[in-house]
Structure formats: C-alpha cells, structure tokens
Amino acid sequence: MKNTTALTNLPINNSYPDPPGFHYDYEYDEEAYMFEKTLRKRLNIVPMIIYSLAFLLGVIGNGLVIFIAGFRMKRTVNTVWFLNLAIADFAFTFFLPLSIVYIALDFHWPFGQAICKLNTTLAFLNLYASVYLLTIISIDRFISVFWPVWAQNHRTPRLAFFVALGVWILAFVLCSPNLYFRDTAPDYHDPKKINCYSKYSSPREHHAMTISRFIFGFVIPFNIIVICYGAIVLKLRRNQLTESNKPFKVITAVIVAFFVCWLPYHIFSFIELKAREDPDLGLVLIIGVPLTTSLAFVNSCLNPILYAFMGHDFKERLRYSLFSAFESAFAEDSSQSLVTNKTRSSVELDSQGV
C-alpha cells in the first residue's frame, strides 16, 4: 500500500537545518510527490528573499558589532558577551549564500559532502551558542544583583572570556551529531541532482535529535533565564531600584527576539515527527517549515539592530557616531552599580555601628 503523502518519505532535502524528509526505503506516491514539489517551488521564493536579507543585514550588522566591541571599545564583561553573540551570528549568516544557491538550484547541492555537514552544523552551533550566551548573561545579571560585592571583585573580562570559551565548547558538543547525520546523495527522482539531507536510519534517531535539541536548545536555557530575570525584577522592586536602564532592556529585547524566532521552529519540528502517522500534516509542513525556518534564521541579523535602537538616547548619539550608539547599548548595567553602591553603603554603616 502506497503512502498517501510523499513528504515524510522523500530522501530529498532542502536548505533548512533539519527539514522534512527521512531517508527510509518506503514506496513513493508519485502524484503526491509532484504536487508537493510544485507547491514547494512556489513557496521557496519566500525563504530565498528572507535568507538574502538576513545575509546582508547579518554580515554587515554583526561585522560592525565585532569591529566596535572587539577593537574600538574598552574590554568589559558586557562587551565580551555581545562580541561572542555577534561572532556566532556572523559565522552563520556568512554561509547563508550556500543555502540560497541550494534553493535556487531546486535543491541541488553542488558544494560537496563536507560543506553540507559544515553548513548545518554552523546553523545549530549558532543556536546553542546564542541561547547559552543569553543564559550566561542572565546568570551574570543575577549574580551582580544578589551578590554585588563579590561581582565587583571577581567579575572580570578575563573570567568572562573563559566562560564564553566554555559556552563555545558546549555548543560544539551539542551540535556535533549533525556532522554524523548530515549527508549527500543523488535525488531519488533525478539522479543528476545531489541532495544535502539528514540521514536518519530510523524514526528513533530522528525523535532523539528533535527532542534533545528542544530540551538542550530551548527548555533548559529558557527556564534558567526566566528564573534569573524573575528574581532580578523582584529584587530591584523590593529595593526600589526600578530606574530605567537601557542595557537591561537591550538584553531583554534580545532574549524575547530569540524566543519568538526559534519557538515556531521547534513546534514544527515536533509536527514533523507526527507527519508519518498523520499524512494530512504533509501540507502543513510544506507551508510551515520554510516560514518558521526563515524566521529562525532572521534572528541572526536582529541583534545588531536591537543593540542600536535600544541603546540609550540612540537618536542623539547617532548624530555623533554609530560607535557612540553601540557603546551605550554595551554599557554595564546601571542597576548593578546601584545595588553595589547600596550594599557598600550598608556595609560601611554596619562597620561604623550605625
């Protein structure tokens, strides 16, 4: 009995990090395949446009952040965090033209197996590095607010550098399975075309990859982030330190952008797992996966825009230089210094017996 949809059985793949398509030996429904292929071609113009914009904005914007935070500004803990975020986004957006070409050639991959593996691995290296850097930033904010004196004495750019290095190592470990599963092979319907796809030998492997990505790339880090920032807000309100500070707003905007951009991708990853059991989901995936994946990719070019526009007195500072506008966004959080000063004052008063 033939499957009623070709989507979940096709060994062909596309430019998405882990797109619909298993590599199982099932029968094919040729009519369903042709319908889906035609629909996919019509929809692919959307990711091509979005990828192109993400490439231009991401390379220019993140390149500018790397130049300013890495070479023009005094090295602080915050500049270390933002510099590493920019490096992760820059590395990913720099390789986006490969995905654009892949779509333009109707999913023919001319770049070889090694680049196929590298391209997808970079996508998920960006995912893990970004979300865990955001997690570290939230922990850094938490420590600075609850233990300000310790933070003042031990919170150094050197320590931040080693923590960031640890994040990169963790991110590489988490994304490394893509080096194994990603592969190239001739297209089932057109042997002259080479597809770059995720070669899962069983549904269990696909389930394991999707679930682990959701847990380690979304659930765990975002629970930590929510707990840290929730505690910070309560602490600042209790101490009446609710003055508006732009650096705090900058990182909040970055976190919200990451959540909005990546959550739909994870949702559709789970819908994909159900597609083999429910053929009616095939059409949903054909439409939804390109859109949600494009949204996830857009996140890599958003951060520099948020840094600039969320910076203190952006319009006023932009009159002098873009460097000044970015500098305000990367400044140390004023709430941290307020808590530190208040704690020091309390310690001094206690030592004087007041």
pLDDT of 39-96, one tens digit each? 777 788 888 999 999 999 999 989 988 988 888 788 889 889 989 999 999 998 999 9
Chain center to CA of 127 = 4
Supply the pTM of this predicted model.
Answer: 0.78
SS3 244: coil
Half-sphere exposure of 272 (CA within 13 A, CB side): 29
Q: Which residues contact 12 (CB under 8 A, 6 or more apart)?
A: 21, 107, 187, 188, 189, 195, 197
Residue whose entry in the numeric block shows the structure tokens 């069983």: 202
- Confidence band, pLDDT 50/70/90 cuts, at residue 16: very low
| Domain chopping of the chain, boundaries | 38-89+120-182+201-343
Fold of 38-89+120-182+201-343: Rhopdopsin 7-helix transmembrane proteins (1.20.1070)
Closest C-alpha to 329, from 352, 351, 345, 313: 313
Chain center to CA of 282 = 26
Q: What is the DSSP letter of 215?
A: I
Q: Which ranges of the chain would DSSP assign to H, the alpha helix? A: 30-43, 45-67, 77-94, 96-104, 113-146, 148-154, 157-175, 177-181, 203-214, 220-238, 246-274, 281-310, 314-318, 322-329, 334-351
Structure tokens at 47: 């990711």
Closest C-alpha to 11, from 200, 286, 204, 205: 200
248-303 residue pLDDT tens: 677 778 788 888 998 999 999 898 888 767 767 777 887 888 889 888 888 888 87
What is the structure's pLDDT at 240?
62
In angstroms, the CA 82 to CA 130 distance is 10
